[in-house]
Amino acid sequence: MPDDTLRYDADKTARLVAFLNARWKNKGCQQCGRNDWTIIGPMAVHPENSSIRSQLPIAALICRNCGSVQFVSTIVAGLDKGNL
């Protein structure tokens, strides 16, 4: 398991889960269908050919059954400020 430096605090985790529960129609994994996720974040994607300051904050959702990974914009989820 990832160490605690890769995990949101309880408040941000609860806010992200509430966002996903409100917005995701299908909560099961797209690969195996199970609804058994772990959330890793904060993380950031650095677009190719951009400065280090240009980044997209994301959270990773990892299926505990098959290992499939999905990314969620934490700007859209309301955890981070920024423009898309």
Flag whether pLDDT at 52 surpasses 80: no
pLDDT at 78: 94
- Inter-residue contact 44 to 59 (CB < 8 Å): no
Residue 5 confidence class, pLDDT cut points 50, 70, 90:
low
Angle (CA) 28-29-31 rounded to 5° is: 135
In terms of Cα–Cα distance, which of 80, 82, 84 is closest to 19?
Answer: 80
Flag whether pLDDT at 61 surpasses 70: yes
Give every CB contact of residue 72 below 8 A, 6+ residues apart in sequence: 16, 20, 58, 59, 61
Residue range 28-55: average pLDDT?
A: 85
**In this structure, which amino acid lies at residue 7?**
R
Residue 2 confidence class, pLDDT cut points 50, 70, 90:
low
Domain ranges of the chain: 4-73
Q: Which residue has the tokens 């430096």?
A: 5
pLDDT at 54: 74
For residues 46 and 53, give the distance between their C-alpha atoms in angstroms, rounded to a whole number. Answer: 8
